[in-house]
Structure 1
Amino acid sequence: MNRDLMRGSEVRALLGISKKTLQRYRDDDWHEGIHYFKPKQQCYYNRPLIEDWIRNHGSDPAAHQRAMEAWLKANQTQKRSRG
């Protein structure tokens, strides 16, 4: 698996949270296609952005917003150069 992706069990261990809390973060705080992806039945999490969210969501949400924007820009550029 790509080292920038984590399974739900890894995220729960990293954050010390339950499945229910992880679901709440997906529903309330995180964005599909940015923080997590569901290509089929399995859900994968964006390690760099989850780690940034841990560092910044309470103390500096604007920093996390910038990290999301930078990630989106970098990934749009990669998609264009492949196509």
Structure 2
Amino acid sequence: KNNTDRKAREGLYPTKGKEDVTSFAMGGSPTLTFPRIQGADVAGRVVSVGEGGDPRRIGERGLLDFNLYADERRDINLTPDYY
């Protein structure tokens, strides 16, 4: 279960206006806009590796984080708002 999806569906983010919804320090972008496409996350298994990749990784489970962060603090999110 994804808490962000659930909270957005249930309207648990307080509004700052008709277009913006503010999250409570949940990480990522401080505003959400609607309509919003949720579910920009991916999980799966490694099925192949490219040149220089370690073939021992094939078969391992993985998770892809689509967020782009400004630095190692991970609290300044540069991901476009269309996600």
TM-score (norm 1): 0.23
In terms of fraction of residues, the more strand-rich structure is 2
Q: Counting helix residues as a fraction of each chain, which structure ranks higher?
A: 1
Q: TM-score, normalised by structure 2?
A: 0.23
The structure with the larger Rg is: 2
